[in-house]
Structure 1
Amino acid sequence: MLCFTSDSPWTTSLVATIGGGLFGFDISSVSAFIGTQQYKDYFHNPNSNLQGGITASMSAGSFAGSLVAGYLSDRLGRRKAIQIGAVIWMFGSIVQATTTSVVQLVIGRVINGICVGITSSQVPVYLAEVSPKHIRGRIVGLQQWAITWGIMIMFYVSYACSKLDGPKSFRLAWALQMIPAILLFFGLSICPESPRWLYCHGEIEQARIVLANVHAGGDMDSRIVRDELSEMREAAQIRVRSASVSLFDLFRPAILRTTFTGVFAQIWQQLTGMNVMMYYIVYVFDMAGKTGNNNLIASSIQYVINVVMTVPGLFLIDHVGRRPMFLVGSTVMMILLFTVAGLLSSHGHFVPSGLAENTNVRWVVSGSASTGVIVCTYLFVATFASTWGPAGWIYISEIFPLEYRARGNGICGSANWIFNFALAYFVPPAFHNILWKTYLLFGVFCFAMTVHVFFFFPETRNKSLEAISVLFSGKISAWKSKNYGNTFDQTIKQDNTETWQYAARTERVSAEKPDIQVGTKDVP
């Protein structure tokens, strides 16, 4: 029998998404201190390149963690992989809390990053495989909400600790980061393993128990349980036929389009410029004329907005779909970024030696234009939080067939972290050298992602995890994919190609089993 007491997918998600909270903790553990005198004095006032390296070091570790995440998850199980990440986080937090140099701080952040690389890619996989389809988007989207909570909580913890004198201000804050990792490690012991992972590793009866408890209130004979098991049986047969999937297999022609789309979903999420607002919000408000305590208070407001505005995104994701959220989000963010660039270029002025409070900032705006920059910044955060924030993570958890899913999420996560690293390092020198044009650059990225999403990102709402791969076969244009699930049965009858035969097998068992019908409409 399985050893767990939680049968609710919501309880499981609340525990597992603490892994997302760790990512948020790490983001604001630096952003809250880079403007404080204690931090600048102890680390000898890091210049733009050094601060970029300190901030980006977490992303370097995350890249490494995301590469091994798929292997750990497939070999040991989704829960154990996440628990390993929690242990790594505890160790990294100890290294940071006892830091005596920039080198030790960077090492600690790299270690914490390894944890984030594991949890950020495998928590969505775990939640997607545990949760019922009709609430899957909201369940997986809680990962993004947890990130926003982690950012906000750690920012206020760090703000409170910044009132302490000397290095104990940031050391205490960095030590407190261990608490959520401890909760994650022990909390997962009461949560079920992924039923799909159990089934594919021969533990069929345990998979059936998990499905019955989580999806059908313990009813082993439920139609829902039978349907899910049938899907898993067919998916497991496919998995056996491609038993040893490697990272290189993700770039074979049959799966290349899926991999390409998933990787770019994560790349574009980074290139929206959101992490400029997360890592370097203090710099942004320095440009807008906010200094000292006023800067930290103004910065904290956007973290609250991030938490609050993620909620409507979680509700909309399963009602309007993924594509509309991508397209609307990137379009609105593009407009806001161009607006900020315009305000800064037309109303700002150059400060050759940089601000006294922050020599990395050499462009300042004041008056009503300053207010406009702050308002646009808040609106930008609200837009990202309700669109690309949750949709980016949900999308990649859905698009890969079972045999590729863990490694596919791992490679997508690694792409996220490569660009996270690059941007974390790039932004301080960008503010120092190209000034307001930094916003112009991110606005262009938002335009490019809007075009890419429209032509190449199929809709995945209300489609089974195993059948979504059909949408990447090239038979259906991305902009025509919205109603695909509603006409699935008819499409199968009209097309006898091998692709559609594969879709029929993975979507439901064949007509030889009369109690289980082809299509998605019968699944609640």
Structure 2
Amino acid sequence: MEIHRNRHHNIQMKESVLVGRSLLNFTSIFVSLGVFLFGFEQGLMSSLLTNKYFKAYYKEPSPAAVGTMIAILEIGALISSFEAGKFGDKLGRRLTIRYGSLIFVIGGIIQTTSVNIFNLGFGRLISGIAIGFLTTIIPCYQSEISPPDDRGFYACLEFSGNIVGYSFSIWVDYGFSYIENNLSWRMPLFIQSLVGFLLYLGSFIIVETPRWLLDHNHDIEGMVVISDLYADGDVEDEVAINEFRNIKENVLIARVEGGERSYRYMLHRYSKRVSVGCFSQMFAQLNGINIVSYYAPMIFESAGWIGRQAILMTGINSIVYVLSTIPPWYLVDSWGRKPLLLSGAVVMGIPLIIIAYSLFLNNKYTANIVVACVIIFNAAFGASWGPIPWMMNEVLPNSVRSKGAALSTATNWLFNFLVGEMTPILLDAIAWKTYLIPAASCALSFLVVYTLFPETKGLTLEDMGSVFDDKTSIFSFRSSGTGSRSNSRSNSISSVTANGYGSTVEASGANAFRQSAASIARNPSMQKPDYDSLVASNPSLSTSMNEMIAPVDSSVPPQEIEPPSFEVIYAHKLRELERQNIVKKAFHPIAALFSGNSSRSRQTSRQGTPGAPDSEALLQNP
């Protein structure tokens, strides 16, 4: 830990040399290893299915056996995604990532050492359990640490990690295909375990999300993380203080409104938000991506590209796929989520129809047309329906975000399983007509997005209620501006508007009631302002007023929504250092000597600073 002055002449207390944008970029890229693993697992099996040693070792498995072995990963992910929501709420996002990566390592080792198709399927089931944990929590983690103006950028960057994993696995398969024995398919299976272990080690380095910390009353740790992410480690910076207030106020309001976190409560209270997350994940699968991702080499073989040529064409396709994920980095926060989904549905649907018609004709142009259309389809998916559904858990409130993400991720895995299970059977039974099914889904997804999905670009997570209007008590967030980070900085506490159960009161009434939740918490008597003049000017409100205003429990003491002071944070850090020193002294005398010098230097760095607390006094009486 470092403690020193910064450019604002305040005190920085940071856990590492990385703070601000550097910390955000490092953390985002590193946690993307979790979705990298999913992409790697996808592409890995698609290429191995054409490996002659793989097919010989497993005795030429039937299409049904291949479909079950491929799709069982989705069964494991479907089951674990629900548990991941509970783990994420109780243990935190960081620990859930750690456990998920460890389980993935175990599943990879079982696959590597498999002796029959059932053994291989069991290993994929274990890996699927891990993938369920990672793909549920990592998008939550990403949305909870990202600033609102760049949240789409970091979510799309994370999805790029998924496609990089897919592409990497294809080229790993292609490279090892030159080995003329069973290592040509066992080594790629082993490499995925190494990547999983790297993510496991990284889980000890990344920070916990500030929203989870504040929601579980770890206010000191939460304030330090907020300052590290948004204020270059300055715990007295106004931006960090305002961010703390906004998040903590949202947490307290959720508790006042009942604080319930069950799935039943979530589905009843936030049904529209949950449907946005689930529909986006459902159509991401039904629109046909896994027909291409899992079975691209088989598709290329059916079009005339045989053996290693099919893997090579898949690898070239994967490079274009990776490049297609870059434009959304810059479009998602400017153009918006909804336009990307609408345009993606159109551009994906057309190549699917052309593929079907070309395979139906089956002439000398078919092979090249199929390759071109698959590349266009993958590029369109990578720029739209690939990244956007994974970031739609941003619409969920903090109190149930983990469970909402679990439900939407489970939807993904359910339809992922159905597509993976049915594709080889459909390709064998109805051949080219298979591609007309996802083409029809693309058309349906366009209609659903156009009619149901709101635009959420630029909104803070705490202001999502402004586009859904699903608050059922008088506490309902309304964005005071565009919802951008610049506005949230200038407005340290979100305004609270009096609402009926889901309905919006006339503007005159809303303006009369707008107060900060912090003010109400400090002075409960402010809960019910003077309505006489308001009712006199607008008698139609008199009936609804009594229904909207809930009584305040006078036994609950007022609370100050203020971050921990520097002195409290400083004392907390000193206590942590003391505990670390005790461990070092017990196990390593030389380390104890250095830690003693380090402690003296830390205390010295605070000397001469006006108003600086005495460290010994703080330790005795924080």
Asked if TM exceeds 0.5, the reply is: yes
Tell me the equivalent position of 2:378.
Answer: 381
Amino acid of the structure 1 residue aligned with 2:375? Y
Aligned partner of 1:55 among 40, 45, 70: 70
Q: Distance in 2 between matches of 1:451 and 1:248?
A: 28
Is 1:208 the counterpart of 2:208 in the alignment?
A: no
Q: Distance in 1 between matches of 2:368 and 2:340?
A: 28
Amino acid of the structure 2 residue aligned with 1:370? A
Is 1:290 the counterpart of 2:305 in the alignment?
A: yes
- The Cα offsets for residues 478-506 of structure 1, whole Å up to 9 and x where unpaired, read as xxxxx9964999xx8998546569x99xx
Amino acid of the structure 2 residue aligned with 1:248? R
Aligned partner of 2:111 among 96, 100, 112: 96
The alpha carbon displacement at 1:305 in A equals: 1.1
Compared CA separation, residues 235 and 162, structure 1 to 2 (3 A): same
Q: Distance in 2 between matches of 1:508 and 1:186?
A: 46
Q: Is the 8 A contact 1:3 1:190 kept in 2?
A: no
Compared CA separation, residues 415 and 508, structure 1 to 2 (3 A): farther
Gaps of 5+ in 1: 349-365, 476-482, 514-524
Q: Give 1:121-520 correspondences, 5 Å limit.
A: 121-241=136-256, 242-252=258-268, 254-345=269-360, 347-348=361-362, 366-396=363-393, 398-473=394-469, 486=482, 497=500, 499=502, 509=516, 512=519
Q: Distance in 2 between matches of 1:138 and 1:256?
A: 27
Q: Distance in 2 between matches of 1:235 and 1:512?
A: 14
The alpha carbon displacement at 1:373 in A equals: 1.8
Q: Distance in 2 between matches of 1:246 and 1:47?
A: 43
Q: Distance in 2 between matches of 1:41 and 1:193?
A: 47
Q: Is the 8 A contact 1:20 1:146 kept in 2?
A: yes
Q: Is the 8 A contact 1:314 1:386 kept in 2?
A: no
Which structure has more relative contact order (CA 8 Å, sep 6+)? It is 1
3-state SS in 2 of match to 1:46: coil
Q: Distance in 2 between matches of 1:381 and 1:425?
A: 20
Q: Stretches of 4+ moved more than 3 A in 1?
A: 1-6, 241-244, 483-489, 492-501, 507-513
- The Cα offsets for residues 126-146 of structure 1, whole Å up to 9 and x where unpaired, read as 111112222111112222111
Q: Give 1:36-55 correspondences, 5 Å limit.
A: 36-55=51-70
The alpha carbon displacement at 1:165 in A equals: 3.0
Q: Is the 8 A contact 2:458 2:482 kept in 1?
A: no
Q: Is the 8 A contact 2:359 2:432 kept in 1?
A: yes
Q: Is the 8 A contact 2:303 2:367 kept in 1?
A: yes
Compared CA separation, residues 468 and 102, structure 1 to 2 (3 A): same
Could you tell me the TM-score, scaled by structure 2's length? 0.74
Q: Distance in 1 between matches of 2:331 and 2:38?
A: 24
The alpha carbon displacement at 1:295 in A equals: 1.2
The alpha carbon displacement at 1:368 in A equals: 2.0
Amino acid of the structure 2 residue aligned with 1:454? Y
3-state SS in 1 of match to 2:386: helix
Aligned partner of 1:81 among 83, 96, 107: 96
Compared CA separation, residues 313 and 94, structure 1 to 2 (3 A): same
Note the aligned Cα RMSD (angstroms): 2.5
Q: Distance in 2 between matches of 1:338 and 1:395?
A: 28
Identity rate of aligned residues, in percent?
A: 29
The alpha carbon displacement at 1:509 in A equals: 4.0
Q: Distance in 1 between matches of 2:466 and 2:283?
A: 23
3-state SS in 2 of match to 1:190: coil
Q: Distance in 2 between matches of 1:257 and 1:437?
A: 34
Q: Distance in 2 between matches of 1:229 and 1:336?
A: 48
3-state SS in 1 of match to 2:236: coil
3-state SS in 2 of match to 1:291: coil
Q: Distance in 2 between matches of 1:401 and 1:19?
A: 23
Compared CA separation, residues 511 and 109, structure 1 to 2 (3 A): closer
Deviates more, 1:230-239 or 1:90-99: 230-239
The alpha carbon displacement at 1:122 in A equals: 0.6
Amino acid of the structure 1 residue aligned with 2:25? W
Compared CA separation, residues 509 and 225, structure 1 to 2 (3 A): farther
Tell me the equivalent position of 1:516.
Answer: none
- The Cα offsets for residues 164-188 of structure 1, whole Å up to 9 and x where unpaired, read as 2333221111111112112111122
Is 1:105 the counterpart of 2:120 in the alignment?
A: yes
3-state SS in 2 of match to 1:389: coil
The alpha carbon displacement at 1:267 in A equals: 0.4
Tell me the equivalent position of 2:575.
Answer: none
Amino acid of the structure 1 residue aligned with 2:435? Y
Could you tell me the TM-score, scaled by structure 1's length? 0.87
3-state SS in 1 of match to 2:333: coil
Q: Distance in 2 between matches of 1:16 and 1:140?
A: 11
Q: Is the 8 A contact 1:28 1:152 kept in 2?
A: yes
The alpha carbon displacement at 1:270 in A equals: 0.7
The alpha carbon displacement at 1:5 in A equals: 5.3
Q: Distance in 2 between matches of 1:406 and 1:494?
A: 26
Amino acid of the structure 1 residue aligned with 2:163? T
Q: Distance in 1 between matches of 2:500 and 2:240?
A: 29
Amino acid of the structure 1 residue aligned with 2:341? F
3-state SS in 2 of match to 1:32: helix
- The Cα offsets for residues 392-430 of structure 1, whole Å up to 9 and x where unpaired, read as 11122x110001100100110001001111101110001
- The Cα offsets for residues 364-404 of structure 1, whole Å up to 9 and x where unpaired, read as xx4223322211111111111011111111122x1100011
- The Cα offsets for residues 31-64 of structure 1, whole Å up to 9 and x where unpaired, read as 1110111111111111111110011011111111
3-state SS in 1 of match to 2:203: helix
Q: Give 1:22-41 correspondences, 5 Å limit.
A: 22-41=37-56
Q: Is the 8 A contact 1:230 1:509 kept in 2?
A: no
Q: Is the 8 A contact 2:34 2:134 kept in 1?
A: yes
Deviates more, 1:54-63 or 1:130-139: 130-139
- The Cα offsets for residues 284-311 of structure 1, whole Å up to 9 and x where unpaired, read as 1122211122111111111111111101
Q: Distance in 2 between matches of 1:268 and 1:155?
A: 25
Compared CA separation, residues 86 and 169, structure 1 to 2 (3 A): same
- The Cα offsets for residues 317-358 of structure 1, whole Å up to 9 and x where unpaired, read as 11110000000000111112112222222x12xxxxxxxxxx
Q: Distance in 2 between matches of 1:236 and 1:508?
A: 17
Q: Distance in 1 between matches of 2:349 and 2:481?
A: 31
Q: Distance in 1 between matches of 2:219 and 2:431?
A: 58
Compared CA separation, residues 493 and 212, structure 1 to 2 (3 A): closer
The alpha carbon displacement at 1:244 in A equals: 4.5
Compared CA separation, residues 508 and 36, structure 1 to 2 (3 A): farther
